[in-house]
Amino acid sequence: MKNNIIEKFKFSSTIYSHILNIFFVIYALLLPFSNAFSTHTGPYLLLFFWIMEGDFSSKLAKIRSEKVIWFLLLFFFINLLSMLWTTNIKEGIYILKFYFAITVVFVTFYTSMKERYLLTIIFAFLVAMFISEIVSYGVFLEWWTTKHSSPSMPTPFMHHVPYSIFLVVTIFLLLGQILNRRISLPLRIFEAIFLLSAATNLFINGGRTGQLAFIFGLFVFVWSYFGTKVKYLFITVFILVSLFFTAYRFSPIFHNRVHQAISDIQKIQNNNLNSSWGSRIAMKIISFDILKKHPIIGVGVGDTRNAYREALKHPEFKKYSFTRNVHHVHDQYLQIALQAGLLGLVPFILFIYLLFTEKYKNLLSKSTLYAVLIVFIFSFSADVPLGNYLSGLFSFVTAFLLLRSQEDMSEFQEISKEVAI
């Protein structure tokens, strides 16, 4: 009787494991379309099926063996602890939902994702981004419209900044797929066409954060995968120069954004911060002033907005129009520091650092992971990605690539590099 109960439990656990991994596929498929699902509903469903799956001894062993997860958990719990010294509880809970989502998605993916589902999961995300691109091009060509887009800013399902990061991450995932010799040649040819389409889409949209992040990410990918050979560095520079020149010549949106950036810089040089880039500098100045008073534990996860809005009332900043519509400090590192001080910022930085220092077996996935991390590291300095759509993308893609990078694919890597050479 006892053995029968145990066998039924094992069977049930196996079913829940399959359901959980199928749900990973659904999560990847819906990630570009729904902020509410990726950061609110989805993580709770993942956590439910993860608990029902059981096998906690194996999961805890994985968590104990992976220091990256230690610091991610520490980061979340310190921000949770900061609720003790915050006064705006409602705002604090809202922000913690994103950090909770990041933690749950990363931990459940890393501890429960099965190898047989890895390619299916990444293909689901790429299919979703392919659909998003079709919609974006349709808006750009004025074939149809969507609620949050226009021909001058054809980002169909989200703001142009996160959409540009989604596109750059897609480009590097596709690059990793194209160089993977285990994937069939016809599929890799299609993915190469998709990559060119994504790169074009990146420059017909107005997300300068993604465009600049793409430059840094591509150099890191080439350096990590091909080394410091002059030939590959020259090819990289040639591709980037050609891409930017073509975009400047033929994309009115990119052309206008370049000139807007030049105008912003000129205003900053004249001590005028009333511009997109100027407002970011102003928020950095204000953030550092607040941190001088609360360096260790910050002002509390829910009180950040109150703190900088109070600082914006100072005559030095009150004269600028952007002060009437500021929702965050335009810097993820400073946002975290304001919320939980160095106590919260240090674990987050160590989490990122350890992702770079892991001992990886799969060079191709490691190079892709490095490129994606650089994309996010740059975007963290210009925006607050962990408080929007990008929080789900960040946890999903880093957990996925961390797992892929730990696979032993040395044979395929050598073949891929020989073909590339």
Percent of the chain predicted with pLDDT > 90 = 57
Hey, how many other C-beta atoms are within 10 angstroms of the C-beta on 215? Answer: 17
pLDDT digits (tens, 9 = 90+) for 286-340: 999 999 999 999 999 999 988 988 888 887 777 777 777 777 888 999 999 999 9
Q: Is the pLDDT of residue 410 over 50?
A: no
pLDDT at 411: 40
Query: How many structural domains comprise the chain?
Result: 1
Residue at 184: amino acid letter: S
pLDDT at 67: 94
pLDDT digits (tens, 9 = 90+) for 385-408: 998 889 999 999 999 999 988 876
Q: Any idea of the CA torsion for 118, 121, 125, 131, to the nearest 10 degrees?
A: 130
Confidence of residue 11 (pLDDT cuts 50, 70, 90): low
pLDDT at 4: 54
State how far the Cα of 24 lies from the Cα of 36, in Å rounded to an integer: 16
Q: Is the pLDDT of residue 190 over 80?
A: yes
More confident residue, 150 or 63: 63
pTM: 0.90
What average pLDDT does the structure give for the chain?
88
Q: Is the pLDDT of residue 274 over 50?
A: yes
Residue 11: which domain range?
A: 2-420
Give which of 398, 327, 372 is closest to 210, Cα–Cα: 372
Place of tokens 């993604």: 210
Confidence of residue 419 (pLDDT cuts 50, 70, 90): very low
Q: Is the pLDDT of residue 416 over 90?
A: no
Confidence of residue 49 (pLDDT cuts 50, 70, 90): very high
More confident residue, 195 or 1: 195
Of the listed ranges 148-162, 183-197, 354-368, 392-406, the least confidently predicted one is 148-162
State how far the Cα of 248 lies from the Cα of 115, in Å rounded to an integer: 42
Of the listed ranges 193-202, 203-212, 288-297, the least confidently predicted one is 203-212
Give CA separation, 82 vs 70, 71, 89, 318, 405, in Å.
18, 16, 10, 29, 34
pLDDT at 258: 85
